[in-house]
Chains A and B, each alone.
Chain A
Amino acid sequence: MRRLDRHLQDLGGLGYHHFKESLTGSKFGYRLTVQPAAHIVCLRIENRIVEEKLSNKLRQKLLVLYAHSPDLNSKVVAWSLFDGTRDEQPSTASEDESPYTSIVAAMRDGWRVIQFPQQFPAYPGMEYTTSFLKFEYILEKLEESDV
């Protein structure tokens, strides 16, 4: 069981304890083994169980951070939070301080970067035109919620 535990932990925060409890209780009628030959099969079963068991509980939080430059260590200059774990949502212009000083600081707190800004050269004639903030990183956390 030790080896399977390690793989489950490698799933990285996807409701590990919740999932482990389901396995040990055999609630889904699967007989799981940790024999090396059966390991891949086990993981496939795990994936399906994770989907079936936890999709009713896990909710996505999106943190959108706008950095000074493409460097993920550069300071955050604008930010937004869209929270799928609760009904109330943050309001515009409600915070004077960013929740994180940089993208990397958010990563260190468990946020997973799911989208990088692509970089394009300026279109001819548009070199000095400004518009949207260029260095937008989208990060997520999955949290259990009854919402």
Chain B
Amino acid sequence: MSDQHLLNTKQIAQFAADGFLRFDNLVPDEINRAVCKQMEEGMPRAKAGTPLTQIWEGTPIGEAFSMPEIRGIYRSLVGPEPLYDHHAVHKVDVGKEQGQIWHADAIIDTRMHFDIQLFYFAHDTPREMGGTAFLPGSHFRRISESDIARYQNFTGQKTMVCDAGTVAVAHHGIWHCAQPNLTDRMRYMFKLRLNPTVRQTRLWDTSDIDDPEVIKALNANHGWYGNEVRIEYVNRIKFWRFLTGDNEFDMSYWMSRIENMPEAELAAG
């Protein structure tokens, strides 16, 4: 990360392809323990649309989200002054054997602009405790919340098995589900949704924008797309144009080919 702890272009490309990024062991244990206590005691919601910097002052969760590393993450994606949308303290009861159904939060969202959701795991989360399962590359799919509840398993699905202090940041459209908790301890996960307040173009550290690893990250095939992978590439190219402001960006000639509609007439010879 840079001085402002901004993400780099390779990370943003991975976000564009996968729909989420994870940062292991990011929050120190002292804050984690205090946040766990705060989650047990309960956290009232603030009003949707409130600037994030105006809430949770002097509380452990406020301290966590004021960390330069976390500010760098959200600044790189939604700008320095995002709005609080809502938060949730997600709990999975002791001995809960059934995973949550796959879903995306909210409703069909046709914007190219995007919200982010931060998933904060304040205590250790081994596989027998969950955590959240993500489906990489699902964020451009237009579905409404639990429309996808018939699905159980996908090639390439990922679960957040992590140490305390791990944070994931996801595009609002990501498909996800809480996993069973087979332990004798309640499982907590803190989720926060943020809205952008500025144009989401080149908000990150772009010094590596010409790195070949960027295109490599954008070309990821997560396996479960099947024959639709090329359509997903088109979605990513459009998203990358939005993120970079480069309306001629292409990879593997996918867009250039279908945008080629010459109008110039052959000069009379």
A residues touching B (Cβ–Cβ < 8 Å)?
64, 66-69, 74, 76-81, 88-96, 98, 128-135
Interface string of B97-111 (1 = CB under 8 A from A): 111111000000000
Query: Is B226 in contact with A92, judged by CB distance below 8 angstroms?
Result: no
Judged by a CB distance under 8 angstroms, whether B177 is at the interface is yes
Query: Is A89 in contact with B235, judged by CB distance below 8 angstroms?
Result: no
Measured CA separation A135–B224 after assembly (Å): 11
Q: How large is the interface on B (under 10, 10 to 19, 20 to 34, 35 or more residues)?
A: 35 or more
Main secondary structure of the interface of B (DSSP, over half): loop
Shortest Cβ gap from A62 to chain B (Å): 10
Find the B residue at minimum CB distance from A134: B228
Query: Is A98 in contact with B153, judged by CB distance below 8 angstroms?
Result: yes
Shortest Cβ gap from A137 to chain B (Å): 12
Shortest Cβ gap from A36 to chain B (Å): 48
Query: Is A92 in contact with B155, judged by CB distance below 8 angstroms?
Result: no
A selection of 7 A-B contacts at a CB cut-off of 8 Å is A77-B155, A78-B153, A92-B177, A92-B179, A128-B231, A128-B235, A130-B141
Shortest Cβ gap from A15 to chain B (Å): 28
Contacts of A92 in B (CB 8 A): 99-102, 133, 151-153, 177, 179
B residues touching A (Cβ–Cβ < 8 Å)?
97-102, 133, 140-143, 147-148, 150-155, 157, 159, 177, 179-180, 223-228, 231-232, 234-235, 238
Contact of B153 among A68, A69, A93 (CB under 8 A): A93
Query: Is A131 in contact with B153, judged by CB distance below 8 angstroms?
Result: no
Shortest Cβ gap from B184 to chain A (Å): 19
Query: Is A80 in contact with B151, judged by CB distance below 8 angstroms?
Result: yes
Contacts of A132 in B (CB 8 A): 141, 143, 147-148
Contacts of A68 in B (CB 8 A): 226-227
Query: Is B177 in contact with A129, judged by CB distance below 8 angstroms?
Result: no
Contact of A91 among B98, B143, B223, B225 (CB under 8 A): B98
Query: Is B99 in contact with A93, judged by CB distance below 8 angstroms?
Result: yes
Shortest Cβ gap from B171 to chain A (Å): 14
Given contacts A80-B151, A130-B142, A133-B151, contact A93 B179 (CB under 8 A): yes
